[in-house]
Each structure stands twice: as structure tokens, then as C-alpha cells.
Amino acid sequence: MTPPDFIQRDIPLADLNTFGLPAQAALFAAIKTPAQLASLIAWPEWRDWPRFVLGGGSNLILAGDFPGLMLQVRIAGRELVAEDAAAWRVRAGAGENWHDFVQWTLDRGWPGLENLALIPGTVGAAPVQNIGAYGLEVAERFAHLDAVDLATGKGVTFDRAACHFGYRDSVFKREAAGRYLITAVTFRLPKPWRPLTGYADVAQELETRKIVHPTARDIANAVIAIRSRKLPDPAQMGNAGSFFKNPVINATAWTHLAARHPDLPHYPQPDGTVKLAAGGLIERCGWKGKNLGPVGVYERQALVLVNRGGARGADVLRLAQAIQASVRAEFGVELEPEPVVV
């Protein structure tokens, strides 16, 4: 049986990952409808190929060519599915651009996602890594998602509990990695809306703008301004956002570390653990603004690695390992990469 006609061969991926890393996919298919996905799963060779589901490519490091079938999710659509006294429920196709979706909800007068403005990537990728910024994680606005089980072709729904959300983590990065293709996500935006302005950068930005009672739009604009100042625009300089998670250590480890480094930025967590600022650790190791070959550490945010031009996956991984080794030697802390490496 001939493969579905929308499958392409030897497709370059440099424009499909925000780090701008060169690599090829042996097979590539853009998925615009669930029916298209069904015809792909019915193709007899479907099972023979390794698969990878691609969203906006903003949390991805391509270590080399991908010898399998890359599926790019382009499923569109945005709608208000329900509104009652307690919440708005808004649904979007997994291929929708995240930031455009956030702007659209604000334009319609459905606040709640404003702290997550300007995060690169797609709606479908948002729950996979539980995107978070400026005091909000998407898990807190999540109702459920629709997915297709790539092993059986059947549709499945995941509610919030089934997603096992954690800090930059979900079931889709662990037990269920690679098994499902997310087709749509439904968000619950609670009423009455309350501004989340506790994050120091946001509070400071609003103060500078002399805004005392911010609207959701004011908060989005503040977040957009902060992100634009601190984080490189992938269209200008290849990057994958924060390259490492902020490490969480236990109270005893923190006591020992604080004895040697009392000035380290740290955030005590409700469960007694302590979250450290990975950017702070990297900066204190002297990496901020430094390069290793064609990759570097961004001068305004040490947690972001950037493509200085012509970088390959191996260059990125080499710099990441050098940074991990420095932080381990200086602080005895392990940094865990945040993007998915393929």
C-alpha cells in the first residue's frame, strides 16, 4: 500500500525548531485534521517507523537527523465552549500558536492566561511541559485535553488529574511520552478574575507604569515587556527558552549550601524543599555571556542558551554538559535540562 500522499521525505527541520538546529526527518507529515491522522495510522508501515510529535519546536534540541516519522500538529480552531457563573471554558486546537491564543482570549474579555503571554510554542505543547511563568502554571487553568492514542488510533480524554502535572512536567514527558498526539486543549478560566501580581518582576513593572489596579491586558503587557527585555526573540537569535529546570533540593542540602553561599537566590517551597535559581548558579560560575564554539549563554539571562550562528545539536549538548559540570563542582547541584532532546 502506498503511503498517504501527505507524507514527505527528507525534510529539513532547521526552520521548525526555534534553536535553528540543522537536521532532517526521514519522513514528515503535517497533521491538520484528526481524519488525516487516522489515515496515517491505517497505513501498514505506520508501526515500522519511530515517531516524534512536533509542536512549535520551541522546547526541542535536535541532536541529529531523525530517522523516523515526524508529525507536526497543525490542528486549528478556537471557541468558547461554555460559560457559567464560575468560569469560562475555552477550547483550542493543538496547533494554534500559544501567544496568539492568549491574546485572542483577552480580546474576547476572557481573562486568566495573561501571565503566560509571549511564551513560544503551540497550545498542544503547553500541557506537555506544563508551561509556567510569572506566578502561574498552565495546570492551574487546565480543564482537559483531547488526544489520539497513536498505538490504537482511538481518541482519549485526559482530565487534570490524569495529566500528573508537576513543575515543567506531566505524564506526557514520562510514562506516556511518545504515545499520544494531543489534538485540542480546553481551559477553565475562573470567575471572578483576580490579578496575579505577586512575582517581583511583574509588581515592579506595574509600579514603573504607575498601574495600581491592573486589568488582565495590563498584566499581559507587563509580562510581554519583561520577557522582551530578558529573553532573546527566537526569530532573532536561536534558543529554546530556559535550558535547565530550577533545581529543587532538600532542607538539609540547603543548610549545607547556605553555609558556604548564603547569598544564593532561593525559594522555600511549601513541602520544606528549597528551589534554587538555576540562572543564578550558572551566572556565579562565570558562564553568563560566554560562548563555547557557536553556542553561548545569553548575556541577559544565564538560564538561556543561544545559537550564535551555525550551531549544531552536538555544540548545544557540549555547552550544556560544561555548564552542568561547573555547577556540580561549585555547588554540588545537578541541573536537569528542560527541553526535549531528540
**Pairing, β 51-54 against β 66-73:** parallel
74 counts as catalytic: no
What is the signed CA dihedral for 180, 49, 339, 220, rounded to 10 degrees? -50
Q: How many residues does the chain have?
A: 342
**173 interacts with ligand EPU by CB under 6 A:** no
Catalytic site residue from 140, 242, 284, 312: 242
- Within residues 229-288, the interface with ligand EPU by CB under 6 A covers 230-231, 241-242, 245-246, 265, 277, 279-280, 283, 288
Q: Closest CB to ligand EPU among 201 and 330?
A: 201
Q: Closest CB to ligand EPU among 191 and 288?
A: 288
Q: Closest CB to ligand EPU among 67 and 289?
A: 289
Evaluate whether 332 touches 286 at the Cβ level (below 8 Å). no
Evaluate whether 277 touches 261 at the Cβ level (below 8 Å). no
228 counts as catalytic: no
**201 interacts with ligand EPU by CB under 6 A:** yes
Q: What's the CA gap between 306 and 100, in Å, rounded?
A: 24
Site string for ligand EPU, 84-123 (x = CB under 6 A): ----------------------------------------
**330 interacts with ligand EPU by CB under 6 A:** no
- Within residues 219-238, the interface with ligand EPU by CB under 6 A covers 230-231
**133 interacts with ligand EPU by CB under 6 A:** yes
Q: What's the CA gap between 6 and 316, in Å, rounded?
A: 32
Q: What's the CA gap between 327 and 244, in Å, rounded?
A: 12
Please report how close the Cβ of residue 288 comes to ligand EPU at its closest, in angstroms: 6
**214 interacts with ligand EPU by CB under 6 A:** no
Evaluate whether 220 touches 117 at the Cβ level (below 8 Å). yes
H-state helical runs in the chain: 34-42, 98-108, 200-208, 216-230, 251-260, 278-284, 313-331
168 counts as catalytic: yes
**333 interacts with ligand EPU by CB under 6 A:** no
- The tally of CA atoms less than 13 A away on the side-chain side of residue 106 is 20
Beta carbons within 8 Å of 86's beta carbon, 6+ residues apart: 190, 191
Please report how close the Cβ of residue 1 comes to ligand EPU at its closest, in angstroms: 42
- The site for ligand EPU, by CB under 6 A, has a size of 19
Give the interface with ligand EPU as residue ranges (CB under 6 A). Answer: 133-134, 201, 230-231, 241-242, 245-246, 265, 277, 279-280, 283, 288, 301-303, 338
Give the catalytic positions in this structure: 168, 242, 338
